[in-house]
Amino acid sequence: MCISYSAMLTKTNRIYRIFEQGKVAVSPPKFISPGSQLIITFILIGVQLLGVFVWFGVSPPHTIIDYEEQKPPNPEFARGVLKCDMGDLSLILCLSYSFVLMITCTVYAIKSRGVPENFNEAKPIGFTMYTTCIVWLAFVPIFFGTAQSTEKTTTLTVSMSLSATVSLGMLYIPKVYVIVFHPEQNVQKRKRSFKSVATAATVSIKSLDKPNGESKIVPDRSQ
């Protein structure tokens, strides 16, 4: 979760900063190169890794056998459930960083929703994050509303599987489909200068000011 949301947050933040900078100046913002994007993504992932290593060092989880959860009337048929002694609070703290990344990515996706489609993937990322937020909003009351640990584990695994499926279905599977079945479409697009991006950002803002929202973007053929 952290790896996926860190990459999407870095991408949506880059899109947002480029078009915000293009509204006021013709100079590109800092840290928008591919190398900078990788460094930012690894830093965001490193925060989660550091927190997990500290947690494992201070209070590592252990396995326990619980005989009380499925205790039968006849003691001879007692069954033990192998469980992790990790508490609910520890679990929520472990997932909270991924939730922060997810919410922040959703905010940037909302802010970038007016950017022209041919310049970015903000809209697919936005749809992915909206659906993911709905999944996890449903997870919280169900998780804390169940008493048995097996039901909580099932709720957690289903929620994580759904969020991963949403990301795969809306972002990655279309790319894999093009790569495998339509390789002729998998070509590098012509790089746009920041001047053309700034022009598109200005035109998109002007289109929002019109009553009917219609505008025509004239392509910059000088690049």
DSSP structure class, residue 63: E
- Does 60 reside within a domain? yes
- Does 218 reside within a domain? no
d(CA 123, CA 108): 11
- The pLDDT value given to residue 217: 45
- The pLDDT value given to residue 119: 55
Distance, CA of 147 to chain centre: 29
CB-side neighbour CA atoms (13 Å) of 43 = 8
d(CA 122, CA 12): 6
Print the domain residue range for 168: 2-209
- The pLDDT value given to residue 1: 84
- Does 219 reside within a domain? no
Q: Provide the whole-model pTM.
A: 0.69
- The pLDDT value given to residue 195: 54
- The pLDDT value given to residue 198: 54
d(CA 151, CA 143): 8
Helices (H), the chain: 2-24, 34-58, 88-111, 122-145, 149-167, 173-181, 194-209
- Does 216 reside within a domain? no
d(CA 160, CA 96): 13
- Does 53 reside within a domain? yes
List the pLDDT tens digit at each of the 223 positions of the chain: 888 889 888 988 888 888 777 777 667 778 778 888 999 999 999 999 998 888 888 888 888 887 776 677 777 777 877 877 777 777 778 888 988 998 998 888 888 777 765 555 667 787 888 888 888 888 878 777 776 667 777 888 888 888 888 888 887 787 888 888 888 877 765 555 555 555 555 555 455 445 554 444 444 444 4
- The pLDDT value given to residue 210: 52
- Does 190 reside within a domain? yes
Cβ neighbours of residue 5 closer than 8 Å, sequence gap 6 or more:
98, 101, 102, 105
- The pLDDT value given to residue 85: 79
- Does 199 reside within a domain? yes
- The pLDDT value given to residue 197: 54
Q: How many domains does the chain have?
A: 1
d(CA 193, CA 223): 7
d(CA 94, CA 97): 7
Whether the CB-CB separation of 127 and 169 falls below 8 Å is answered with no
Task: Name the token pair of 175.
Answer: 């790319």
- Does 215 reside within a domain? no
Amino acid at site 213: G
